[in-house]
Amino acid sequence: MFSLHNIGSNANILIYFYFIDIIMFEFIKNLFKKEELEEVNFDDLAGWLNKKIEDNIISKNELDLEFDRRIEQIKQEITEKAEILKNATYDKPIEPKVKSIINQNRQIFLKQIDNIEASEEKLDNFMMNSKKTIPTLKHIYFDETDALMRKIMKIAESIETRKKEYKKLNIELFKEIRTYLIDYEEEKMKKKKFELDLESAEKRLEVIYKYKEDTENLQKQFLDSELAKEYKETIIQKELMSDKLKELDSSLISQFSTLERALKKLAKIKLNQIMIQDYITNPVKTLLADEKLKIIEILDLIKKNIDKLDLKDKKREKTLETINSMTSDKLYKFMTEYNEKLITYKQLNTEFERSKFNKEREQIENNIKDIDGKIRILNKEIISYQKLGGNVNPEKNKKNIIEKLKKNVKIH
């Protein structure tokens, strides 16, 4: 150790102050030195937390044992001090009434001390119940009461010290962070699942779009096939035959429309009223069923009775002209032509209905509809996965964990 009495030269003085500077520097450095934080990789944080919680619980148990030992010692000292207060006497003059009140307060106070416990709540209750008793006792037993209260305050100090030590252990914080970490891992797994589900749905969508493209190409090939051409030709021939039948219908209906008034008049005065009425209502159907051409007889009757039918000159002339044009040969020809075309139309219709084209076309169209339905479902699925994945944010939980632990550990 250096002393000014031992310094005999300027060199020694310089050496002395040099060492003083070093000592001061080390003192200041240690004063402001920050405790270096432990470094932990985030992936190893769960193991680190478990170890910390386990070690700190052991430390907490040791604190509790030390606390119990300390409280037991203080209680023993309180018992001793309480005994001193109990036996304390006051020799100075005092009114008997005052002395009696003080002694009563002493008994109450000592009884309360017997039930004292090392609990913050119980101590608060004790202080509340004793706030009038203590000042009263201190009037004549100041030293004894004060010594006793100092011991009681040591219990409060021990409780406070243990609280501070508990806080340093951070057991509840570490347990809370461990819960956050579990949530983080669950969210990470959930997000990963959504990402995998999304990837799977997108791949399935890609496959089904390819399948739709292939099906539409097949549809184009099918619509250009020989079967399709035959089908289209059948439709054309069927429509053409339908138009010809309509033309025949129209021509016969037009003729009987001209004869309608004469037929109605004749029906009132002659027989065959039912057949006449049928020809008025549906001339084509009735003629096709009239194999013996009884209509010729009816037309002859109109000619014979033309003067009796009360027709105007112009109508009479037109009626006779129409009757003269409707010969047996012409009617038979109409029936033959109509039946031939009707048979052809029915054959074409049968071909149309039996054609494989319709069945295969419907099957392809239904396949495309099914594909479109699957595409809609998959698109909804993808949107759902995107939305659910967006709502899960494990990184936010990770930042929260790092922030809460920044004073305890350095996390990479």
Reduced to 3 states (helix: H, G, I; strand: E, B; else coil), residue 304 is helix
First to last CA, the chain: 47
Mean of pLDDT values over 33-59 = 81
CB atoms within 10 A of CB 287: 20
Mean of pLDDT values over 365-373 = 93
Structure tokens at 62: 């040791």
Mean of pLDDT values over 317-332 = 91
Residue owning tokens 């001390």: 113
Nearest-CA neighbor of 58 among 180, 169, 210, 206?
169
pLDDT band at 6 (very low <50, low <70, confident <90, very high): very low
For residue 106, pLDDT beyond 60: yes
Length of the chain: 412
Numbers of helices and strands, H then E, in the chain? 15, 2
For residue 270, pLDDT beyond 60: yes
Identify residue 346 by its one-letter amino acid code: K
pLDDT band at 405 (very low <50, low <70, confident <90, very high): confident
pTM of the model: 0.54
Mean pLDDT across the chain: 84
DSSP code of 409? E
